[in-house]
Amino acid sequence: DVKVTQSSRYLVKRTGEKVFLECVQDMDHENMFWYRQDPGLGLRLIYFSYDVKMKEKGDIPEGYSVSREKKERFSLILESASTNQTSMYLCASSSGLAASTDTQYFGPGTRLTVL
Amino acid sequence: QQQVKQSPQSLIVQKGGISIINCAYENTAFDYFPWYQQFPGKGPALLIAIRPDVSEKKEGRFTISFNKSAKQFSLHIMDSQPGDSATYFCAASPYNNNDMRFGAGTRLTVKP
């Protein structure tokens, strides 16, 4: 069974703080993704990584950065958190060459509130 | 603006009824169309997916209908059960590309 875990289920931070969201997958998947989920907007891709130290911008990368130093771990970083980054953050992984080749497996999500 | 438009936003169906959720897209480069199911407190999980070379795919009570000319696809849940109550997302991605686009989601409630 593929397992994608996220470091926190709930997180409350203050405006201007640096925030780290961690994601770990245990299936040796090449691809990892960070999405944010907002009501009425569905899931929007922030960044993805297809290999260690490799990253690509998704639909909404502004205000975020990512780090992938090890294959199993993908971190999302909010350099200076703002209230409009309050959201549910979902991490996913897949083993294929592309989203159209293989299933994305999602973690349970981190609900981030920025005050 | 969303590249995949999903409707309705919410749906209430009686147990045993048919649930139908619709999605439409514009980008003709999309060639993989999955549906994800999300229960409260969980991440989305792949339910069923279709490629445009077929017009229908069925897995148990779940069927995807695909209309390439209209650029529309839909999920049908036959004999809906209370355990099907969840949020459903349609999605689309181009071939050999990691850029998956999701619809806004439909919250389905199946009443006993």
Of the two residues B35 and A101, the one the predictor is more confident about is: B35
Distance CA A66, CA A55 (A): 8
pLDDT tens digits, one per residue of A53-77: 899 999 899 999 999 999 999 999 9
Q: What is the pLDDT of residue B97?
A: 72
Residue of chain B nearest A50, judged by CA positions: B98
The whole-number pLDDT of residue A99 equals: 58
CB B110 within 8 A of CB B16: no
C-alpha torsion sign, points A94, A97, A98, A103 = negative
- List beta partners, residue A47: A34, A57
| Secondary structure (3-state) at B1 | coil
- Predicted local distance difference test score (pLDDT) of residue A12: 97
**CA-CA distance, A109 to B58, in Å (whole number)?**
29
Contact (CB<8Å) A98/B9: no
Q: A99 and B105: CB-CB below 8 Å? A: no
- What pLDDT was estimated at residue B1? 61
Tell how far CA B104 is from the center of its chain. Answer: 11
Q: What pLDDT sits at residue B16?
A: 97
Q: Smallest Cα–Cα separation from A85: which of A110, A54, A63?
A: A63
Question: How far A54 CA sits from the closest chain B CA (Å)?
Answer: 13
Nearest to A52 by CA among A25, A14, A82, A21: A25
- Residue B100: the pLDDT is 86
**Percent over 90 (pLDDT), chain A:** 78
| B positions 14-73 inside 8 Å of A (CB) | 31-32, 34, 36, 41-46, 49
Q: DSSP string spanning A46-94?
A: EEEEEETTEEEE-S--TTEEEEEEETTEEEEEESS--GGG-EEEEEEEE
Task: Report how far residue B17's alpha carbon sits from residue A42's, in angstroms, rounded to the nearest whole number.
Answer: 26
Across the interface, whether the CB atoms of B43 and A42 are under 8 A apart is answered no
Residues of chain B predicted below pLDDT 70: 1
